[in-house]
Chains A and B, each alone.
Chain A
Amino acid sequence: MVTVEPPPPGRTEGPGEAVVAAAAAMELGLALARVDYVQVGVTSQKTMRLLPASGRRATQKVVIGDQDGVITCFGIKKGEAVPVFKTLPGQRITRLELGGALNTPQEKIFVAAGSEVRGFTKRGKQFLSFETNLTENIKAMHISGADLFLCASYIYNHYCDCKDQHYYLSGDKINDILCLPVEKLNCITPILACQDRVLRVLQGSDLLYEVEVPGPPSVLALNKGNGGDSGEEVLFGTSDGKLGLIQFSHSSPVHKWEIRNDKKRGGILCIDSFDIVGDGVKELLIGRDDGILEVYNFDSTNDPVLRYDHALSESITSIQGGCVGKDGYDEILASTYSGWVTGLTTEPVHREGGSGEELKISQEMQNKISSLRSELEHLQIKVLQEREKYQQSSRSSTAVSAVPAFSVNDKFTLNKDDASYSLILEVQTAIDNVLIQSDVPIDLLDVDKNSAVVSFSGCDSEPNSNFLLATYRCQANTTRLELKIRSIEGQYGILQAYVTPRIQPKTCQVRQYQIKPLSLHQRTHSIDHDRPMNTLTLKGQFSFAEIHSWVVFCLPEVPEKTPAGECTTFYFQNTFLDTQLESTYRKGEGFFKSDNISTISILKDVLSKEATKRKINLSISYDINEISVNHTLKLIHPKLEYQLLLAKKVQLIDALKELQVHEGNMDFLIPEYRCILEEADHLLEEYKKQPAHLERLYGMITDLFIDKFKFKGTNVKSKVPLLLEILDSYDQNALIAFFDAAT
């Protein structure tokens, strides 16, 4: 019983607006309903396609290949999946493509499994089994008429009518392959998407030219499905979530547009073009590895605009637009990592939600549910019997207990924006818990979207060399876990994740990830040669392969395979400080140049340790450029100043807000403070995004200070407290003077 004067209705407006009953969000007029069709085994990237509609029927059949090696082809009748054919299990299917004679419906099914390519008719009859001469498993495949393009890790092979035509060895891993449409261009132009952030355009067995892209490309697709009007337009998606369009004219490429991944969404796994809106223009359909499905359309200047997104709970491995569920209603079909085939259909939901109206569970649904239930009952009985048998075997002294490996989809990548690593673990069934162990000091950061309960355990660095032990206890139905890790350059070792899924008999799998000595460095295509550089020179009796393996050990994103030729050069950029590193090496000698003296110092320590381990006599010499230290300090200066200012501003926000509330307005404040209040949300967000940024900068300046004098042979560790004092009341000139003076 409340007798306080009721607030008049007008009161509820303004910032504290009362919203009664949450309404379902409608995304810019595009309303799609989710339908889950079937679940097959775990799927790889690009393994689901829609067969072209044939005959009288307008609905299309779906064909999907999974990691159990099974190809499933089905259609939808009255909401139920009706199988067309299903093959027997075999080697894991890595790609599934459609093909056929040029200018006819592309309805022959080709799958790549192991080193073999198999072909099936749309009715499931096998007409081709082509055992290639590749020694590795096929990673990517493209089919155009009688031409077959295959890629293993580093190798590209072109076959025509199953006969070897061309061959190319790429400098880094190939993620995807595409060929510009032969019908339009009358020549074969294969394009390789390579891990070293390059698209390589081939002609025959030779490299025509390379195109740099902003991230490691993970998928390629022809624009509008046919390469656009010119037939030369190719869409690419990167594993750090960027998207772009490039026109490959014969002589040179033209970058049309690029979308940065500002929302920090997952990497792109699949792209398709389809007119889902029905306005006569094809939209862009994107599937990401964090389960986000996006639809872009194009504005008047032909730039893409995000129009719709939908979150599935796991990686989207394939995506295609078409008509599957019901005649007359287009939909977006997606397959996910654990094998779900899900449709987002334009068919309106035949239920009128809202109060009073009874929910109608359609007959189809009812049938589907009851058949599933009975199927489950049978399975349950069978499982119980088997479980009993398994238990019994534990009494025998000769029996063994072997549980097959479950599949773990993992990704460990460096984020350029905040110089931290993200580790993504995805399992086909729900995860029970994950144990994270590291033998180097690293920080584990909280990720907002995780619901798992994290608990840090006490560590014993001696004698068990544990620097981090943490458990993630996952909530029910969590199949995907994302972790963020901050490493320190110079401290290297191994991070291990023990993943235990919720499945009987309980097993866990361990995955290892290298934290490299120069863990914050990233490959780049070019560097600024005008900077003052320090040089480290190695000479000794080592082979090209040996020094390459050392570089692989020290730096991320270097291909494991020794590069072709006698000599190679890689460029790197420090994602945190923007300093650079150039490494050039050949048999017997190596040169490492960096404007950051700490980078050189770390390399020197690690390389000499590695060489000693292999008992190789190494002569190390270095050429230190004093100016480089001040140069690095100048590089750090704007970052440090920005962070200090940000911290100061954030500190003021609360006080200013209180003033604002008390005074009712903020006209009396000086513009600077008013500005802080206006940007408060943005500032707080920025501050939250970069925790411990300042501490990291301080740490790097300290390293720089120690390293500068280490090369001179003096130990200045005793002066570090003094340095920290100077940093506390930071002034650029004072800092530089301190660096110069302390000799």
Chain B
Amino acid sequence: MQSNQDSDISLLNINQGVSCLTSGVLNPQLGYDCLLVGTQTNLLAYDVHNNSDLFYREISDGANAAVLGMLGDISSPLAIIGGNCALQGFDHEGNDLFWTVTGDNVRSLALCDFDGDGKNELLVGSEDFDIRVFKEDEIVAEMSETETITALSPMYGSRFGYALSNGTVGVYDKTARYWRIKSKNHAMSIHAFDLNSDGVCELITGWSNGKVDARSDRTGEVIFKDNFASSIAGVVEGDYRMDGNTQLICCSIDGEVRGYLPGSQEMKVNLMDSTAEQDLIRELSQKKQNLLLELRNYEENSKQIELSTQVNEADGQRGVIPANTQLQTALSVNLGADSQSAHVELCISTSNDTIIRAVLIFAEGIFEGESHVVHPNLQNLSGHIRVPLTPPKDVPVDLHIKAFVGYRSSTQFHVFELTRQLPRFSMYALSSPDSVPHPLSFVNFTISERVQRVVMWLNQSFLLPEDAEFQSAPFQVCFTFLRDAGQLCIKMKPCGEISVSTDDIDLAGDIIQSMASFLAIEDLQVEADFPTYFEELRKVLIKVDEHHTVHQKLTADMADHSNLIRSMLVRAEDARLMGDMKNMKKRYVELYNLNRDLINGYKIRCTNHTELLNNLKAVNQAIQRAGRLRVGKPKTQVITACRDAIRNNNLNMLFRIMRVGTASC
């Protein structure tokens, strides 16, 4: 800690890149805030008043995000950090009171009373686009978003705001999204603050273009905005001027800081502009003008109908088409050919001689941007368009289709808008059960559901050429992955035993989660075996051990070297003072060589560390995957049991848990 009497700023040097920072009351006995500093390897809880460490812990999974507060039934406040697939919570003594894993690297955390039971749940936003809600270490909800979740902010009650790396911000209430907006800029920071004093927090967003806006939690409507000259660095609240008024404080990357006091009760009508009525009038007039335009459109249309009932090419140019023109769409699996890999095909066609000039598909997560366009050239125009789709992930996607329909020479087209849903498992083609070898890995479980309901789930989740009509068990369906030609087999026996065979453990997890939510299964224990995956995991675990050993050895080496350096430096300086230039030079050359060795050692350490992190991530992911094969209580049990097994370094136990779900026989 450097402290300078002349300066108002005290600096605390961490000597490492700071990856997350938060503050709050960690020790209720102390009664004041402490500072939490997370880096890629350590977490420091720091008592600013006494200039002392509360604790300093090594965090092997890194700390990407941190939050401080009460969680569930745990009695003391926790410093919760999210790293590579792992979540850890520490009390003020640095005791590890909370640990669990999640699907991918954690990017954002928030505490919020999600289910209204008076206790906080932990919201976790991660790089696999999911927001997960942990009731202590049990996942109670999962919401799929369309990009990495970069920020989460509790609003009040079960409502919380979120921001994505693609410029989206929005508000959820429990699992339902209230609203969201997407901007071409990026949301740098979000914060909940009641700016208009109506008793409800607004979502304040600081944008990369320097804009700050406050949006109503309910509608997303902008109630206040301001502009900075450069990107916003952070948005916080506090009584900065020590006058008893809490302000919203925004800071830009250029160091410009602005504070905003909440508006008074009377002003809540409108903060945007003092000319609220003017805006209202403008808006109403615009509406009126739009309605008048629409009316005129219909009038002109009926005039046209009186004039001619036959459509010819000249009319086509003005955008006249038969009124009964319809647009048909069909989704199917295309196994591909030499020039084109296998894909899902969306077929769009008109019902008469009109042509489709272009098709715009807006959908999230399956294209590079948010849209895909098919625009045939003039020679290739027709009433049919085939659009190849290759969703990279198994999520249900809404396709918002806009088709421009007219004639060849049209300069104005009718826009047909419709929405189709792409089923969750659309990238799987039905195959015959006998044609291919059966996958070795499987998951078995028993459910007490009618066969028809399972078939319904099949029809809804897969793109089948025609709806499957199995009236009774046993039955068997097999699929080929379009992405990597792997196999998937789902068998159901009369007793209700279902077996899912696939070598892809993620897919098995997805199928179980999807089926469980469709059939409303609350708890599900399974028996699973993934021999190849488990073998890989075993190798990874061995590697983790090796890396740990290397790490310790390197650290010891470094300590030796630094002692040597100290003495060498003293000797070199001595020589300099004595005027013994020859010896001094010799010493410094030695020092230089040693320094080079140190740098090399450091590089090795870095590589070693990165590999270690990757392997640890793989381990965490494996635990998460084993969990995803189960639902409800068994899921939590598996995750806890796996962790205990790793802590005790009992590998056989670990694999046993992954297979049957419990540690005991």
Q: Is the C-beta of B319 less than 8 angstroms from some C-beta in chain A?
A: yes
Task: Kindly specify which of A2-10, A161-169, A171-179 makes contact with the partner chain.
Answer: A2-10
Cα distance, A39 to B287, chains bound together (Å): 11
| Chain B stretch 191-246: residues in CB contact (< 8 A) with chain A | 209, 226, 238-242
Across the interface, do A36 and B285 meet the contact criterion of CB distance under 8 Å?
A: yes
Contact digits for A482-508, partner B, Cβ 8 Å, 1 yes 0 no: 000000000000000010101111111
Cα distance, A477 to B285, chains bound together (Å): 13
Cα distance, A396 to B291, chains bound together (Å): 25
Cα distance, A497 to B216, chains bound together (Å): 35
- How many chain B residues touch A (CB < 8 A): the figure is 101
Q: How far is the CB of A530 from chain B (nearest CB, A)?
A: 47
Most A CB within 10 A of own CB, among B249, B305, B321: B305
A33 CB contacts on chain B under 8 angstroms: 275
Q: How far is the CB of A440 from chain B (nearest CB, A)?
A: 13
Across the interface, do A351 and B274 meet the contact criterion of CB distance under 8 Å?
A: yes
A671 CB contacts on chain B under 8 angstroms: none
Across the interface, do B311 and A400 meet the contact criterion of CB distance under 8 Å?
A: yes
B414 CB contacts on chain A under 8 angstroms: 401, 403, 505-507
Cα distance, A458 to B319, chains bound together (Å): 28
Contact residue among A34, A429, A437 (Cβ-Cβ distance under 8 Å from B289)? A429
Q: Is the C-beta of B294 less than 8 angstroms from some C-beta in chain A?
A: yes
Across the interface, do A500 and B415 meet the contact criterion of CB distance under 8 Å?
A: yes
Cα distance, A20 to B251, chains bound together (Å): 13
Q: Is the C-beta of B276 less than 8 angstroms from some C-beta in chain A?
A: yes
Given contacts A400-B315, A458-B372, A471-B373, contact A383 B291 (CB under 8 A): yes
Across the interface, do B288 and A372 meet the contact criterion of CB distance under 8 Å?
A: yes
| Chain B stretch 267-296: residues in CB contact (< 8 A) with chain A | 267, 269-270, 274-278, 280-282, 284-296
Q: How far is the CB of B321 from chain A (nearest CB, A)?
A: 6
A34 CB contacts on chain B under 8 angstroms: 275, 278
B308 CB contacts on chain A under 8 angstroms: 400
Contact digits for B340-370, partner A, Cβ 8 Å, 1 yes 0 no: 0000000000000000011010100001111
Q: Is the C-beta of A463 less than 8 angstroms from some C-beta in chain B?
A: yes
B371 CB contacts on chain A under 8 angstroms: 455, 457, 471, 473
Across the interface, do A376 and B301 meet the contact criterion of CB distance under 8 Å?
A: no
Query: Which A residue's beta carbon lies closest to that of B376?
Result: A464
Chain B interface, >50% SS class: mixed
Task: Kindly specify which of B252-260, B442-450, B563-571, B584-592 makes contact with the partner chain.
Answer: B252-260
Q: Is the C-beta of A566 less than 8 angstroms from some C-beta in chain B?
A: no
A458 CB contacts on chain B under 8 angstroms: 367-368, 372
Across the interface, do A2 and B238 meet the contact criterion of CB distance under 8 Å?
A: yes
Q: Is the C-beta of A529 less than 8 angstroms from some C-beta in chain B?
A: no
B369 CB contacts on chain A under 8 angstroms: 454-457, 471
Q: Is the C-beta of A466 less than 8 angstroms from some C-beta in chain B?
A: yes
Contact residue among B239, B289, B377 (Cβ-Cβ distance under 8 Å from A463)? B377
B49 CB contacts on chain A under 8 angstroms: 3
Q: Is the C-beta of A390 less than 8 angstroms from some C-beta in chain B?
A: yes
A451 CB contacts on chain B under 8 angstroms: 183-184
Across the interface, do A36 and B282 meet the contact criterion of CB distance under 8 Å?
A: yes
Q: How far is the CB of B349 from chain A (nearest CB, A)?
A: 17
Q: Is the C-beta of A11 less than 8 angstroms from some C-beta in chain B?
A: yes
Cα distance, A73 to B11, chains bound together (Å): 70
Cα distance, A406 to B294, chains bound together (Å): 11
Cα distance, A312 to B640, chains bound together (Å): 61
Q: How far is the CB of A10 from chain B (nearest CB, A)?
A: 8
Contact digits for A319-353, partner B, Cβ 8 Å, 1 yes 0 no: 00000000000000000001110000000010101
Q: Is the C-beta of B375 less than 8 angstroms from some C-beta in chain A?
A: yes
Task: Kindly specify which of B322-330, B502-510, B554-562, B643-651 makes contact with the partner chain.
Answer: B322-330
Q: How far is the CB of A407 from chain B (nearest CB, A)?
A: 10
Contact digits for B367-392, partner A, Cβ 8 Å, 1 yes 0 no: 11111110111001000000000000
Contact residue among B226, B309, B415, B417 (Cβ-Cβ distance under 8 Å from A22)? B226
Cα distance, A429 to B286, chains bound together (Å): 8
| Chain A stretch 578-608: residues in CB contact (< 8 A) with chain B | none
B318 CB contacts on chain A under 8 angstroms: 402, 405
Query: Which B residue's beta carbon lies closest to that of A436?
Result: B373
A383 CB contacts on chain B under 8 angstroms: 291, 294-295, 298
Cα distance, A503 to B286, chains bound together (Å): 12
Given contacts A349-B275, A379-B288, contact A402 B411 (CB under 8 A): no
Across the interface, do A3 and B376 meet the contact criterion of CB distance under 8 Å?
A: no
Across the interface, do B285 and A372 meet the contact criterion of CB distance under 8 Å?
A: yes
Contact residue among B242, B284, B302, B309 (Cβ-Cβ distance under 8 Å from A372)? B284
Q: Is the C-beta of A741 less than 8 angstroms from some C-beta in chain B?
A: no
Q: How far is the CB of B197 from chain A (nearest CB, A)?
A: 10
Q: How far is the CB of A236 from chain B (nearest CB, A)?
A: 32
Given contacts A403-B319, A453-B183, A465-B377, contact A39 B274 (CB under 8 A): no
Across the interface, do A403 and B412 meet the contact criterion of CB distance under 8 Å?
A: yes
Q: Is the C-beta of B40 less than 8 angstroms from some C-beta in chain A?
A: no
Contact residue among A359, A405, A433, A450 (Cβ-Cβ distance under 8 Å from B266)? A359
Task: Kindly specify which of A90-98, A361-369, A699-707 makes contact with the partner chain.
Answer: A361-369
Across the interface, do A402 and B322 meet the contact criterion of CB distance under 8 Å?
A: no
Q: Is the C-beta of A278 less than 8 angstroms from some C-beta in chain B?
A: no
Query: Which B residue's beta carbon lies closest to that of A469?
Result: B373
Cα distance, A502 to B289, chains bound together (Å): 12
Q: Is the C-beta of A613 less than 8 angstroms from some C-beta in chain B?
A: no
Q: Is the C-beta of B5 less than 8 angstroms from some C-beta in chain A?
A: no
| Chain A stretch 359-418: residues in CB contact (< 8 A) with chain B | 359, 361-362, 365, 368-369, 372-373, 375-376, 379-380, 382-383, 386-387, 389-390, 393-406
Query: Which A residue's beta carbon lies closest to that of B25?
Result: A1
Q: Is the C-beta of B8 less than 8 angstroms from some C-beta in chain A?
A: yes
B254 CB contacts on chain A under 8 angstroms: 15
Query: Which A residue's beta carbon lies closest to that of B279?
Result: A36
Across the interface, do A433 and B321 meet the contact criterion of CB distance under 8 Å?
A: no
A365 CB contacts on chain B under 8 angstroms: 277, 281
Q: Is the C-beta of A128 less than 8 angstroms from some C-beta in chain B?
A: no
B53 CB contacts on chain A under 8 angstroms: none
Across the interface, do A437 and B257 meet the contact criterion of CB distance under 8 Å?
A: no
Cα distance, A433 to B257, chains bound together (Å): 36
Query: Which A residue's beta carbon lies closest to that of B239?
Result: A2
B299 CB contacts on chain A under 8 angstroms: 386
Q: How far is the CB of A567 from chain B (nearest CB, A)?
A: 37
Across the interface, do B267 and A435 meet the contact criterion of CB distance under 8 Å?
A: no
Across the interface, do B261 and A21 meet the contact criterion of CB distance under 8 Å?
A: yes
Contact digits for B574-597, partner A, Cβ 8 Å, 1 yes 0 no: 000000000000000000000000
Q: Is the C-beta of B247 less than 8 angstroms from some C-beta in chain A?
A: yes
B281 CB contacts on chain A under 8 angstroms: 36, 365, 368-369, 372
Across the interface, do B322 and A448 meet the contact criterion of CB distance under 8 Å?
A: no
A357 CB contacts on chain B under 8 angstroms: 266
B274 CB contacts on chain A under 8 angstroms: 24, 349, 351, 353, 359
Can you give 26 A-B contacts (C-beta < 8 A)? A1-B33, A3-B32, A9-B241, A16-B256, A19-B258, A24-B274, A355-B267, A359-B276, A368-B281, A375-B288, A389-B298, A393-B305, A400-B322, A401-B325, A402-B300, A402-B315, A402-B320, A403-B297, A404-B296, A433-B402, A455-B368, A455-B370, A456-B369, A457-B369, A471-B369, A509-B411
Q: Which residues of B contact A (CB under 8 A)?
A: 8, 23, 25, 32-33, 48-49, 167, 182-184, 209, 226, 238-242, 247, 249, 251, 254-261, 263-264, 266-267, 269-270, 274-278, 280-282, 284-302, 304-305, 308-309, 311, 315, 318-325, 357-358, 360, 362, 367-373, 375-377, 380, 402, 404, 410-417
| Contacts beyond the supplied A368-B281, A400-B304: 13 A-B pairs with Cβ under 8 Å | A2-B23, A16-B251, A36-B278, A361-B277, A393-B305, A402-B319, A402-B320, A430-B286, A469-B375, A471-B360, A471-B362, A473-B371, A507-B413
Q: Which residues of A contact B (CB under 8 A)?
A: 1-4, 6-9, 11-12, 15-22, 24, 33-36, 39, 338-340, 349, 351, 353, 355-359, 361-362, 365, 368-369, 372-373, 375-376, 379-380, 382-383, 386-387, 389-390, 393-406, 428-430, 433, 435, 437, 439, 446, 448, 450-458, 463-466, 469-471, 473, 477, 498, 500, 502-510
The 5 A-B pairs with the shortest beta carbon distances in the complex, nearest first, are A455-B369, A402-B304, A506-B415, A399-B323, A3-B32
